[in-house]
Amino acid sequence: MDILFTKLQGNGNDFILIDEFGSAVIPDDMKGEFASLYCDRRFGIGGDGVLYLSASDKADLKMRLFQPDQSEAEMCGNGIRCFVRYAVDAGYVRESCKVETPAGIISVRMEYRENIFMAAVDMPTPRFNRSDIPATGEAEYLETISGLEVRAVNIGVPHAVIRVDDVEKVDIARLGPFIRHHETFPKGANVDFVQLIGDNALRIRTFERGVEDETLSCGTGATAAAVILHRLGMVGETVQVETTGGSLIIYLKDNAVLEGPAESIFVGAINIP
């Protein structure tokens, strides 16, 4: 038995995609285990998660994302761009689509710009007062953890945003897991260290929940950082966010929109005896 897959990446955030549009390929109770096995970069294919594409009765397509720790993520900004890149290549959609996710139905617009595939994603409405983030009123939750001011926002998934003077000097291997598991976040959080580098420009590093490591880019993290710094009056309505894997643009005029590239890297088959 061969399981066909496609490997994609968005700013270095890489994913394995399994096409289940016609029928299930990996049983639901094995999807997490499959992700854990094949996201391994030495004994598997390698990736920050496995995207499962299927039909939807609520939208054009349905996306599920399972991470290396076997958990299912509610939403992923880079992942959904890779997802729609595959969907365009496969002929399922063309210039726009709606994608069902555990975080709600997400609208995406796609185009080629100078031969580069770009996708603009209408991100979930930022939330500051949810049961999984103990915020109050309209202000983002703020707590001092390990001497750092940590602000919380949910962009489909919970994020802890910390402004620093120099992201390169952050001991993310120590601070990332500590804040990710802090009691402030009962369901855990992605941890974003963000540096203001110019007018409406940020640099960010993210420790991702579920991957349990720093990734080269995090789309929801870039959005969370832009939202928080915009609320603090430090950036305007169009923000360029530099990740280790490349640039993302966040638009904040009416709702939060994430724009960035996505690339199909290779296709392959897993042979199951």
Catalytic residue among 39, 82, 97, 218: 218
Question: Does the annotation count 76 as an active-site position?
Answer: yes
Neighbours of 261 (CB within 10 A): 20
DSSP 70: S
Q: What does DSSP say about strands 61-66 and 213-215: parallel, antiparallel, or unpaired?
A: unpaired
The amino acid occupying position 131 is S
- Nearest to 228, CA basis, from 126, 144, 131, 129: 126
Between CA 101 and CA 75 the distance in angstroms is 7
- Nearest to 203, CA basis, from 172, 178, 226: 226
DSSP 182: -
Question: Does the annotation count 97 as an active-site position?
Answer: no
Identify each DSSP E strand in 27-77 by its residue range: 50-54, 61-66, 72-73
Catalytic residue among 39, 76, 82, 97: 76
Contacts of 199 (CB under 8 A, 6+ apart): 235, 236
Buried b (16+ CB within 10 A) or exposed e, 237-254: eebbbbbbbbebbbbbee
Q: How many Å separate Cα 36 from the centre of its chain? A: 18
What is each CA distance from 40 to 3, 14, 32, 70, in whole angstroms? Answer: 17, 12, 13, 12
Q: Which residues are catalytic?
A: 76, 218
